[in-house]
Amino acid sequence: MAISSERYKEIPVTRPASRRGTLVRLFPFLRWGRQISRRSVRADLIAGLTGAIIVLPQGVAFALIAGLPPEYGLYAAIVPPIIAALFGSSMHLVFGPTMSSSIVVLGIVSGFVPLGSPQYISYVLTLTFMAGLFQFLLGLARMGSLVNFVSYTVVVGFTTGAAVLIVVSQIKHLLGISLKDGISVFHTLGQLISELGNSNPYTILIAAVTLGAALALRHYRPRWPGMLIAMIVGSLVCLLVDGQQHGVSLVGSLPGHLPPLSLPEFSMTAFRQLTPGALAVAMLGLIEAVSIARSVATRSQQRIDGNQQFIGQGLANMVGSFFSSYAGSGSFTRTGINYDAGANTPLSAIFASLLVALMLVFVAPLTAYLPIPAVAGVILLVAWNLIDTRRIRLIARASKRETAVLAITCLSALFIALEFAIYAGVMLSLVMYLQRTSHPRVISLAPDPDRPKRHLTNVAEHRLPECPQLKVIRLDGSLFFGAVDHVQNALHKLTEQNPGWKHVLLVGSSINFIDVAGAELLAQEARRLRKRGGGLYLCRLKGSVCKILQRGGYVNLIGEENLFTSKEAAIRLIFQRLDEERCRRCPRRIFRECATVEFAGKGVTGRQPDR
């Protein structure tokens, strides 16, 4: 049967959805590429120009922190951000050199090769490639949720320790004195005390003026490129006082060319030495990038794909290592400025990278007049901004355990190693989490006569009397193999304190999960209490918990007649199994069912039943 031409026009001719979805997953820029318009390009270009101006002083400063020549900070702001923008998932995240990645790179690589040597640069590039490879593989394995295991407290502790290390590393540039690199904080401070008399007043003046100008601009003109202007002011002061003739060091002229091709050192020795550090760099970079992307996404109403962000960041670091770029991550400062400047698509980050390349070619000779104390003053301000004093106060007030995690992470960064600080914080957080989950609270409950429906309430908080024959408890937490010993000891302790508690009612509304070990525990306690002439009763269990008990045959061991959907039904049945003679003499009368038993305790005072 032939199809008419009009009917044929109504049949959509499109590519299969699965093929389109595959292309978008492989090339995520196809998703936002359709949103590009003349208006969005203009907004992205303005945002990119703002970002390029911001990254110019930051890149130089961060490279010096990483122990690299200053131009490497700008190299890292050219190629990797383009790759991250094309293959990431955030519309506003700006990738590039960051303070934390720079200090970690310095801490890791300087432990194997000396600063300033050619091998130092090749090791940095190898570290960058390996970190990117880890990130890429984690993204392919759909392991985006791994960053959730690193708590915000660990990040705060790490950045605080890193900020202190940055300040210590810049003291020699701020004061114009000579200090040895790669030694501990204590030794650096000791050297500082002995060398303090050799400070250069011209160096101190330039650093102080630069820092003061940056602070003033941040306060009065927050939208201006404060760091760039402050460094220009410091350079002018250096020229006015003829700083170079008075021992003030200058950055020197940057090479005015695009990032040269480079080759990481692919040797077994380098891989063996750098693998632990590369994993730390990878995890830290992912934590930074995903957390920044999510924080901006809450304002832009965008959904972030953590796995795609892993892939984009991994590709950026791997490709960047072949273009003289060292490990980077998402920049909070540049990402926030990018969003506030009106960026619509990741094209703004691409524009910023291209503009940085132009600046490197045409503006690079001007860095010959840039004094190192001016850069150190800017770095000091950036390091101070890393210390989140408000969060530290909140953590200290909220939780002693979280405070311990923060302190240990910070101290590990200061006195052991930066990459170890992340592992130490994560391990301590997991240990505390396991400690907390393996010790679920066993709460004693009793009816509260002051509440309308006499709800079961915490006995300890409200000082309520309990039934001498029936113990009612609630388990707050999961009943799994790690918690079995704690729960069993708690149950035995309760029944030992009062031998009359032969009947135990367990309210299971707060049990979110149970495994075979937990089910075995319930069966064992049911048998133990039956031997004592009582029983274990369960009520308000969740569906997932009931399924485990049913599938394993534990319902038969506990007794199907001992499982209840409500506390009222459970107490009503259990009451019939209590010793009636003891009920007659009991003055407490805490249950409604107690009113059905004649009170025979003459001369005994106590709470009478509610009629």
Picking from 409, 430, 451, the residue at the C-terminal end of a domain is 430
How many domains does the chain contain in total? Answer: 2
Looking at residue 611, its pLDDT comes to 31
Crossing angle (nearest 10°) for helices 347-362 and 79-87: 170
55 shares its domain with 167: yes
Reference 310, options 325, 326, 289; nearest CA is 289
Lowest mean pLDDT among 9-13, 100-104, 394-398: 9-13
Q: Please tell me whether residue 597 adopts helix, strand or coil conformation.
A: coil
Q: Are residues 459 and 343 in the same domain?
A: no
What is the domain range of residue 384? Answer: 37-430
In whole numbers, what is the pLDDT of the chain averaged over residues? 83
Residue where one domain finishes, among candidates 375, 399, 430? 430
Residue 5 — pLDDT band, cuts 50, 70, 90? very low
Mean pLDDT value across residues 448-462: 83
- What was the pLDDT predicted at 345? 87
Is 392 in the same domain as 462?
no
Give the tokens for residue 599. Answer: 């009170």
How does 461-478 read in b/e, with b if 16+ C-beta sit within 10 Å? eeebbbbbbbbbbbbebb
Indicate if the pLDDT at residue 554 is higher than 80. Answer: yes
**pLDDT tier at 315, thresholds 50, 70, 90:** very high
Q: Look at residue 487 in the predicted model and tell me its pLDDT.
A: 93
Nearest to 578 by CA among 527, 534, 526: 534
Q: 441: which strand partners? A: 476
How far is residue 448 CA from its own chain's centroid?
Answer: 42
Stronger pLDDT, 429 or 3, i.e. the higher one: 429
For residue 486, pLDDT beyond 90:
yes
The label of the residue with tokens 């708590």 reads 151
| Confidence class for position 9, pLDDT limits 50, 70, 90 | very low
Residue 166 pLDDT greater than 50, yes or no = yes
Q: How confident is the model at residue 553 (pLDDT cuts 50, 70, 90)?
A: very high
State whether 48 and 189 are in the same domain: yes
At 299 the pLDDT is 66
- In this structure, is residue 194 part of a structural domain? yes
Same domain for 343 and 450? Answer: no
Q: Are residues 478 and 529 in the same domain?
A: yes
pLDDT surpasses 90 at 350: yes
Any idea what the CATH number is for the domain that residue 579 is in? 3.30.750.24
CB 126 within 8 A of CB 266: yes
Q: What DSSP string describes 437-449?
A: HTS-EEEEEEE-T
What's the rounded Cα separation, in Å, for the pair 334 and 352?
10
Same domain, 461 and 418: no
Asked if residues 376 and 174 have their Cβ atoms less than 8 Å apart, the reply is yes
Nearest C-alpha neighbor of 500 from the set 423, 422, 585, 426: 585
Quick one: which of 318, 321, 387, 316 has its CA closest to 353? 316
Residues 6+ apart with CB under 8 A from 122: 263, 264, 265
Averaged pLDDT, 98-126: 89
Taking the complete model, does pTM exceed 0.85, yes or no?
no
Average pLDDT over residues 528-548: 92
Contact of 231 with 374, CB cutoff 8 Å: yes
Q: Which of 377, 396, 430 is the last residue of a domain?
A: 430
Let me know whether 240 and 309 are in one domain. Answer: yes
Is the same domain home to 422 and 524? no
